[in-house]
Each structure stands twice: as C-alpha cells, then as structure tokens.
Amino acid sequence: MATLGTNGKNASLTGIVGAIDGGSGNGYMEIGTTSFASILGTLPLSKPCGTVSGGVLTLATPFSDSAADAAGTAAVARVKDSAGNIIIASMTVGTSGTEVILSSTTIALAQPMNITAATLTYA
C-alpha cells in the first residue's frame, strides 16, 4: 500500500480546502446525531475555510450557529461546499480528543452551538 509524504498530504488537503471554498459562497459544517439521523445545526465556515500544514487541515475557528435547528446529542460532523456537495463526509465530534471540538455535545433547540477547534489529519 502506497503512503504519502507530508508534501503529498499537504497537496491533497489543499485540494480539499479548494473544494470547500470553490463555490460562490462559503462552505459550511453540519453537526448531526449518530449517522446524521437529525441535523442539529449548520455552521458557516470562513473563506478561506482553513490552513494546511504538516498533513493537517485546521479549519478557521471559532465558528458557531446562533440557534440550533434541533435538540440532541452531537455525534458526527460533515463539511459541504456552498452548493451543498459533501466534501468531508464524516468527522468525529466531542468536547476533547475528536476532530471537531464543541463546547458541549448536548444541544438544545434554538441554543447557540460553538466550535472551538476542528482539524482533519491525513492518515
């Protein structure tokens, strides 16, 4: 099985940034319950959405949704471009040790959702 060096990883992740930012508007992140059974919130990303270094894409944070769309326990996130195409299909979510760090995984309807960090590491 072939593996990529850091420069190859960075090039691949830079392509992901380009895909997220490529539309006329900003990309966004959806936070959902397990398997996206319910979308709890939609959080707009900056443009550019993040930076790449050392094989890691770090999304520009903090970003937030001022009013959650549903109540539930946040379990997964995905990133879409401005046209709604899925660019990153599934990211882990939690309050620490995950790809997307939330201030709380317990989401209440119409309450703010805050992302404090979000990274994608090329394996």
Give the domain ranges of the chain: 6-121
Characterize the bridge pairing of strands 39-44 and 50-53.
Answer: unpaired
Strand partners, 50: 59
As a whole number of angstroms, the distance between CA 49 and CA 45 comes to 6
Q: How confident is the model at residue 79 (pLDDT cuts 50, 70, 90)?
A: very high
The answer on pLDDT for 28 being more than 90 is yes
The answer on pLDDT for 81 being more than 90 is yes
Q: Are 90 and 63 in contact (CB under 8 A)?
A: no
Residue 68 has a pLDDT of 96
35-54: per-residue pLDDT in tens?
Answer: 999 999 999 999 999 999 99
Mean pLDDT of 93-111: 97
**What's the chain's average pLDDT?**
96
Residue 29 has a pLDDT of 97
Residue 122 has a pLDDT of 86
Nearest C-alpha neighbor of 27 from the set 60, 66, 73: 60
In percent, the amount of the chain with pLDDT more than 90 equals 93
Residue 32 has a pLDDT of 98
Characterize the bridge pairing of strands 76-80 and 28-32.
Answer: antiparallel
Residue 2 has a pLDDT of 86
